[in-house]
Each structure stands twice: as C-alpha cells, then as structure tokens.
Chain A
Amino acid sequence: MSPSSSSPSLLHLAVALDGTGWHPASWREPEARPRDVLTAGYWADLVAEAERGLLDFVTIEDGLGPQSSHFLDPDERTDQVRGRLDAVLIASRIAPLTRHIGLVPTAVVTHTEPFHLSKAVATLDYVSTGRAGLRVQITARPNEAAHFGRRTIPRIEAYDSPESQELVTDLFDEAADYVEAVRRLWDSWEDDAEIRDAATGRFIDRDKLHYIDFEGKHFSVKGPSITPRPPQGQPLVTALGHQTVPYRLIARQADVGYITPHDTDQARAIVAEIRAEQETAGRSDELLHVFGDLVVFLDDDQAAAAARRDRLDTLAGEPYQSDARVFTGTPSQLADLLGEFQAAGLTGFRLRPAVLGHDLPAITRGLVPELQRRGAFRTAYEADTLRGLLGLDRPANRYAASA
C-alpha cells in the first residue's frame, strides 16, 4: 500500500498565488514586480510559468477586505502589499492564455450568493474548456461583514470558547450548504438538455432541467442554473482546513482538501481524521485528495535560501510565521520532504512561494525536474481537464437517474 522509494507513485503539485508571494516583504525583492500586481500581464506570466512546470493547478487567493497581518482586523500597515483583484475574474482573464493548467480561484462564501458563484465557476469551466475549480473560504472578520451590512459577525475573543466554536461551526455549516447548492446548480442541467429539435421547435428538453429546491438554515435557492452544465460536469471544489470543523467540510464537499501538517505524524493523523469523516459522510468510494500546504524558500544551496529568508525577515521587521510548515532549502531537499509526506498519506502539495518571482520558477525549473528524475511527477500533461489531471472521473449528473 505505501509507495516504496524505488517506485513512487506520482504526486500532484499546485501552487498558491497571492500578491508578490507569501512573505510579507516579498514585494521588495528585485524579481517581485510590485507595481504590476493589478495587471493582467502579471498574472498571465505567473500562470504561464506554472504551466511550463506542468503543475496541476494554481490557486488564487482573495478576500472581501484589505489584506492584513492580523487574523480578524485590518492592520493599517503601509509596508506590505495591499489591494487585490477578484480571483474568479483573474482566473477567467488567464484561462484563454493557457491550455492545460487548472485554475482555482478563492471565493468567500460567507457574504456572497451561491447562485452567482455557481454560474461564475461554470463559466470559468467553459472559458478554460474544463480546467475550473474553486477554493471555498469563510470569513469571520467583523469588518468584512460591515462591507456588506447584511449580518453582523460577532468578534471571536478566545478561539476555544464555546461561542467561538459555535460561530465557526455555523460558518462552516453554511459553507457546506453553499457548496451543496452550487453543486446542485451545476447538475441542474443534464448534459444533453440542449436538443435544438427543429421539428418541434424546442431548443431544450425542459424535462432535463431541474429545480434544485435547496433549503438551508441561511438561504434557499430554487434553480435551475441559467448556465448549462459545465464541461467537467462538476468543477473542482477545494478547501483549506486546520481543525476538525473544516476537515468535516473537506470530507463532506471537497475534491481536494489542503492541510498544514508540520511533520509526518501530524499528516498521518489529519489524513486519518479526514478519511473517517469522509466515511461518515458516505463518500468513502469517492477520490478525495488531501494536499499538504508548504511555504517554500527554494535555492540551489540551503545557505542561500536561509540567507534570503533572513534578509526578508529583516526587511519585514519580524520572523516570518505561517499556519503551514515553512521549508527553506534546495529542490532536492524539498523533494525528499514531499516524498516523506506522501508516504504519510498526502496525495499532493500546494506550495506557497515565499517570493513568487523567485520561488515559483525555482519550483518549475528546480523542484519539478528533480521530482521527474525520481519518477514522482508527470513529464507531460496527460489530460485536457483539471479533473482528468487529478484522476477524478467526470461525475454522473445526480438528477439524470431520477428523471
């Protein structure tokens, strides 16, 4: 069952794009292009680089408020990148310029409409001819709630207090409902609903369109979608989790979950927890990828990577900290580490480049060839769709059988 070191199974690689990189001082590096972050050309270049490296997909971070170094509040800092574009639109802008790589924008589900998001991601799937995904995110920030004015989100004072746990559980339950509504909308048209039957004058067979009649605690959606079923049937749904509540969302609704283990024991434990939840959710027969998130400083020798991290920390005025493990070293060392995590049950990785302009090419031109040498990564794109790259079947339509 566990892959031996002589014949490793292929792992999957994604890269997480955010601003100029994940280190807050990344924008000050020579390769960073901080003045281009709001242009299409900047994103096109990044995604082209990721595609050159045959990566499975990119994720694009987003948020409904200014970036902040605080977890719950704006920080009013002027020494870091602030301001960003809508991630779904960035992904769509890039889609016609790429051929193979998956495009997975972040969408905040706490204040947005499942009907709008469902058709937006379906459309991303059309414009990319089957390479769309979605990273679902909740927000518990009171300031972001104030941007919408429809609900107030109480401030989380202590993370482990019962009130906080209740709030977080409620937001993730809402997210699960949201994804359920989105997925039903994707299925609300059967694949062959468009008939163009000149004899009867009917463009569609209305019996192949379905009301989704979603009723949840926070919203209801009638359906069907206004957008026909997208090329992949179901675009990829992904989510990041750090504890049981989000693991449950991953187990119930995701195709790929991102986790942040700091060692292989943690990885094993989290994967076991997600697999157990997956079984509870009745999805144990479905392929659910669990990817490890890692921040990476990659250089040809370890000292250079460590020196770069130190230099950036000095510029930032504090040591860089992350929810994910921070790797500093060479492509070969990183390949070793990924192999260990893979043996602990992870099926892929979402790497967060510390400096996009430096660490993304280090991934595509350093890490990828190293993994290929080890037989651990693809040498050519083997499928036309994102689901295909990840070994996920095109799902049957849930409504087709009931008709």
Chain B
Amino acid sequence: MSKPQKQIHLAAHFPGVNNTTVWSDPEAGSHIEFSSFAHFAKTAERAKFDFLFLAEGLRLREQGGKIYDLDVVGRPDTFTVLAALAAVTEHLGLTGTINSTFNEPYEVARQFASLDHLSGGRSAWNVVTSWDAFTGENFRRGGFLPQEERYSRAKEFLATTLELFDSWHGDEILADQASGVFLRDAKAGSFVHTGQHFDIHGQFNVPRSPQGRPVVFQAGDSEEGREFAASSADAIFSRYATLKEGQAFYTDVKNRLAKYGRRHDQLLILPAASFALADTDAEAEELARIVRRQQVSGATALKHLEFVWNRDLSSYDPEGPLPDIEPDVSDDHISKGRAQVRMYRDPLATAREWRELAAANNWSIRDLVINTGNRQNFVGSPETIARTINAYVQADASDGFILVPHITPTGLDAFADKVVPLLQEQGVFRTEYEGPTLRHHLGLAHPDDVRDEQRVAS
C-alpha cells in the first residue's frame, strides 16, 4: 500500500540582513526599492507559491560596538510593504514577522486584520519574541522583559490578539440604507482581557476579516518554542532543511499536537532552504562553491567566528588556522542583534569541535565557515532539485520549503521557470490556486468553520 503523495507547499523569503544575499553580484538589484519586492512577489505568484515571507530585525546589528557593515543592511516596514504587495498580486499569501515584545496586541491586531481585509484574506503572522535591552532601546517599553518571560508574554500576546479578532463574528455589519441600521450590534468588537502581561478592555474597531484571523506562524526551536507552536500555530518556520534533522524535528513537533487536541494536518512544518540551480548537477556544484565564497569573505568569516569567541578576532588571518585562545564566556557579548549569537549555547565546546574539524580537514578559518555555515540545501539541475525536494517532503522531513534565493530580486526566476513545472508534472504541486485566501493554499480550515465544528462536537 503506497500512501498518497503529499502536496508540497512552497514559499519565498525575501532575503534580509544576513550573508545569504550576494549583493556584490552584478545581477543583484536593490534590496529596498519597492520594484524589487514587486518583482520577487510576482515571480512567487507566477510560480503558484503559497506565500511570501519577511523576517524582522528591530535594531541594526552591531559587532564590537559598531554597526555591522558587511551584509545587506536596511529593510522596509513589514506591514507597509506587505500591504503594497497586496496591490501587485492576487493570490500570494503575505507573511510578516512581527515581534510580540515591542508591540501591543490592540495595534498588531488592527494591522493584521487590516492587511487581511486589504489583501482579500492573504495575511499571515510569524510570531516572534525578543527580550533584549539592545533592541528595546528603540522602543518606549525599553528592554524590560526578563528572558524567561518572553514566551509567556508571546503566548498571552497571541491569545489576546485572537480574542480581538474574534470580538467580531462577521455578521454585524448590515449597512441597510433603507432602514438606517448600519450595525446590528452596538457592542460589536467588545473585549476584556485581564492577564499577567495585558490588562485591556474596550472595543476592537476592525470588523472580522476574510480569513477571520491571519494564519499564525511560529519560528523558534527551543522546548518552549516547540510547545508554543504545537499549541497555537498553523505553521512553523523551521531551520532543519536536511533529511535526517528535518524528520526528527517533524516527528517531534507533530507528536506534540495530540495533547492540544489537534490533528497532524493542522500544523505545517516549513523549513527555510537555499538552493543553487544550474542546467547540470556539475554546473550547480560549481555555482554553489562560487556563491559560498561570495557569501563568506575573509572578513565575514572572522566576524562569524567572533559570535562564538566573543572576542575581537580582527588580527587573525582568515586564510590561516583557527584562534588558539579560548572563547570569552562572559555575558557581555561582542555581537548584538543577531539570532546566531544564541545558536552557540556552549562556546567552549563549539570552539573545540571547530578546531578538530579544521585540523582534520586542513581548513582555514574561512574554509571552516564556508563548510559549516548555511550551505545551499538543494544543489543541482532542475530535475535533481525537484526530485530532492519531493523526496524530502514525501519522507516527512517537512511539508514544503521556504526558499531563500541568494540574489535579490531575480533569484527565484529560474526556480519558477524550471523547477516548478517539474513538480507540477509529478502531481505534487498545484497548477492553480485552490482558492482566494492563504488558508486555501495551506489547506487550513477557516477559524469560523473550526468554531462551528467544535460547537457541534460539544
């Protein structure tokens, strides 16, 4: 008995501020002009992708007390650029990463509900958390939140916004010109929320949007993050795009769903993945090598090591051996505002492991970073990439991928033209959109139907 083929979900991540983007490539265009975002979004929609994804960073990264200057710096406001993209696309989902620490539920709920109305039901929210005082220095609230409370605030933040979305049911607006009744219910939008982090009440002023609520994504890999996603998210933006790691993560998270009364298909797992695509596998391997060397200059390699060493390593030769001094394990970190800082939880062990790897392979600092860093997940001809992506999804390493091209804004064009048709031929990727909303693309029920289902069941 063969099981039915899973349908693949594909999304496009407009590369933000890390060294994915090869900005020095002559093909690279603007990373900030709207025309770049429009080109990227239209390509994704032409390829029938589920959605476009934007990451977030609310303070410019620093290293050694100075603004980091080696990668792309600067990006637009998430809500605003997604609203504009709704004007140049018809079907593509619009997913924005919005921080639950440096925002307030009422305002974020207004913005997402507005985006959902203005896009005809295509909005999604990647809920992230933050606690650091560094980012907080840009906000009224400041860096007020103890790290251990960040998920508790995030959970309550999300719950509160869901209460606001649900404060309108969708049938309140009558707008009967003859009788003069606009609203059926003067109390539409009423809410009261009393909790540890938020104590708010009043009336929400955005009526129910086409999707009822935006689709909810979660990113974050900790134990709390996985539980948060299993309990509350529609999809996870994960970082395990390899077969084995992907399967382990997939199994772990999907198995957590049952305790929240949820089915396997109510949470999609979508890792970020990069790719190197060329006419032949050999050409793609060569392209991948070139891209990696462009992404990791000598200076970038040293900066990358500084995340672990927590020291100024600028005097080292990136083409030479790894530093023989030990990482500084004090809390005061040399690098601020980067997610990677938290990836290396045991710097001493990481340094030891890297030294061993470098010695065994005769790698320089730069070689090490090139070989241990984010290599392209999919390398090959269109046939190879289509086959590999499909194999991973059918083997439950994920439900699909969020592709991050290394060139802005044309980096998806070849994938759309050459890989997508192959997936369509295999019958594992849509040739037409299933419906107008992102929930249709992702196969997620409308929250009102879920509510009705639960009402019937109880």
Interface residues of A (CB under 8 A from B): 25, 27-30, 32, 34-35, 38-40, 44, 63-67, 74, 76-86, 88-90, 92-97, 111-113, 115-116, 119-120, 122-124, 126-127, 129, 143-144, 146-150, 189, 194, 196, 198, 201-206, 209, 218-224, 226-228, 315
Check: B120 CB closer than 8 A to any chain A CB.
yes
A129 interface neighbour in B34, B119, B298, Cβ under 8 Å: B34
B299 interface neighbour in A96, A196, A201, A222, Cβ under 8 Å: A201
Q: Report chain B residues within 8 Å CB of A29.
A: 177
A206, B61: Cα distance in complex, Å = 11
Chain B: interface residue total (CB-CB under 8 A): 75
Total cross-chain contacts (CB, 8 A)? 226
**Provided the pairs A148-B106, A226-B60, A228-B74 are in contact, do residues A82 and B188 lie with their beta carbons within 8 angstroms?**
yes
Tell me if B's interface is mostly helix, strand, loop or mixed.
loop
Q: Report chain B residues within 8 Å CB of A120.
A: 77, 79-80
Q: Are A127 and B80 within 8 A (Cβ)?
A: yes
Assuming A83-B206, A96-B84, what are 10 further A-B pairs, CB within 8 angstroms? A34-B177, A35-B175, A64-B107, A85-B117, A88-B79, A89-B115, A93-B84, A201-B297, A206-B67, A228-B74
Q: Report chain B residues within 8 Å CB of A126.
A: 32-34, 76, 81
B181 interface neighbour in A78, A115, A122, A221, Cβ under 8 Å: A78
Q: Report chain A residues within 8 Å CB of B379.
A: none
Shortest B114–chain A CB gap in Å is 4
B192: nearest residue on chain A (CB-CB)?
A146
Q: Are A206 and B203 within 8 A (Cβ)?
A: no
Check: B70 CB closer than 8 A to any chain A CB.
yes
A32, B178: Cα distance in complex, Å = 13
Q: Report chain B residues within 8 Å CB of A82.
A: 182-183, 188, 205
Shortest A372–chain B CB gap in Å is 30
A64 interface neighbour in B23, B106, B173, B187, Cβ under 8 Å: B106
A381, B267: Cα distance in complex, Å = 51
Most buried by B among A66, A223, A224: A66
| CB 8 Å contact bits of B214-238 with A (1 = contact, 0 = none) | 0000000000000000000000000
Q: Report chain A residues within 8 Å CB of B341.
A: none
What are 14 A-B pairs with beta-carbon distances under 8 A?
A27-B182, A28-B177, A35-B175, A86-B110, A92-B84, A93-B87, A96-B34, A147-B202, A148-B107, A149-B198, A194-B74, A196-B24, A227-B76, A227-B77
Check: B180 CB closer than 8 A to any chain A CB.
yes
Check: B242 CB closer than 8 A to any chain A CB.
no
**Provided the pairs A143-B202, A196-B24 are in contact, do residues A40 and B59 lie with their beta carbons within 8 angstroms?**
no
Q: Are B107 and A115 within 8 A (Cβ)?
A: no
A86, B117: Cα distance in complex, Å = 10
Q: Are A115 and B138 within 8 A (Cβ)?
A: yes
Check: B57 CB closer than 8 A to any chain A CB.
yes
Q: Are B175 and A127 within 8 A (Cβ)?
A: no
A93 interface neighbour in B74, B83, B188, Cβ under 8 Å: B83
Q: Are B34 and A202 within 8 A (Cβ)?
A: no
Check: B159 CB closer than 8 A to any chain A CB.
no
Q: Are A78 and B182 within 8 A (Cβ)?
A: yes
List 7 tightest A-B contacts by C-beta distance, closest first: A127-B84, A123-B80, A222-B137, A86-B114, A92-B83, A123-B76, A76-B186
Shortest B303–chain A CB gap in Å is 10
A219, B139: Cα distance in complex, Å = 8
Shortest B115–chain A CB gap in Å is 6
Shortest B364–chain A CB gap in Å is 17
Q: Are A115 and B58 within 8 A (Cβ)?
A: yes
- Give B164-197 interface residues, CB cut-off 8 Å to A: 168, 173, 175, 177, 180-189
Shortest B97–chain A CB gap in Å is 12
**Provided the pairs A85-B117, A115-B138, A126-B32 are in contact, do residues A146 and B202 lie with their beta carbons within 8 angstroms?**
yes
Q: Are B182 and A39 within 8 A (Cβ)?
A: no
**Provided the pairs A40-B86, A116-B77, A218-B140 are in contact, do residues A34 and B175 lie with their beta carbons within 8 angstroms?**
yes
B117: nearest residue on chain A (CB-CB)?
A38
**Provided the pairs A35-B173, A82-B188, A86-B110 are in contact, do residues A204 and B69 lie with their beta carbons within 8 angstroms?**
yes
Shortest A143–chain B CB gap in Å is 5
A212: nearest residue on chain B (CB-CB)?
B138
A194, B299: Cα distance in complex, Å = 18
B200: nearest residue on chain A (CB-CB)?
A149
Q: Report chain A residues within 8 Å CB of B117.
A: 38-40, 85
Check: B7 CB closer than 8 A to any chain A CB.
no
Check: B104 CB closer than 8 A to any chain A CB.
yes
Shortest A231–chain B CB gap in Å is 9
B207: nearest residue on chain A (CB-CB)?
A83
A148, B207: Cα distance in complex, Å = 18
A234, B34: Cα distance in complex, Å = 18
Most buried by B among A79, A116, A224: A116
Most buried by A among B58, B72, B114: B114
Check: B415 CB closer than 8 A to any chain A CB.
no
Q: Are A27 and B87 within 8 A (Cβ)?
A: no
A267, B131: Cα distance in complex, Å = 50
A189, B140: Cα distance in complex, Å = 21
Q: Are B184 and A78 within 8 A (Cβ)?
A: yes
Shortest B285–chain A CB gap in Å is 24
A214, B33: Cα distance in complex, Å = 28
Q: Report chain B residues within 8 Å CB of A223.
A: 138
A44: nearest residue on chain B (CB-CB)?
B87
Q: Report chain B residues within 8 Å CB of A221.
A: 137-139
Most buried by B among A78, A194, A220: A78
Q: Report chain A residues within 8 Å CB of B5.
A: none
Q: Are B202 and A96 within 8 A (Cβ)?
A: no
B103 interface neighbour in A64, A116, A202, Cβ under 8 Å: A116
B205 interface neighbour in A65, A124, A194, Cβ under 8 Å: A65
Q: Report chain B residues within 8 Å CB of A74.
A: 202-203
Q: Report chain A residues within 8 Å CB of B312.
A: none
Q: Report chain B residues within 8 Å CB of A76.
A: 186-187
Q: Are A228 and B32 within 8 A (Cβ)?
A: yes
Q: Report chain A residues within 8 Å CB of B187.
A: 76
B73 interface neighbour in A27, A28, A204, Cβ under 8 Å: A204
Most buried by B among A126, A204, A223: A126
A87: nearest residue on chain B (CB-CB)?
B114
A86, B123: Cα distance in complex, Å = 14
Check: B388 CB closer than 8 A to any chain A CB.
no
Q: Are B182 and A203 within 8 A (Cβ)?
A: no
| CB 8 Å contact bits of B115-151 with A (1 = contact, 0 = none) | 1011110000000000000000111101000000000
**Provided the pairs A113-B139, A202-B70, A226-B75 are in contact, do residues A77 and B186 lie with their beta carbons within 8 angstroms?**
yes
Q: Are A111 and B107 within 8 A (Cβ)?
A: yes
Q: Report chain B residues within 8 Å CB of A34.
A: 175, 177, 182
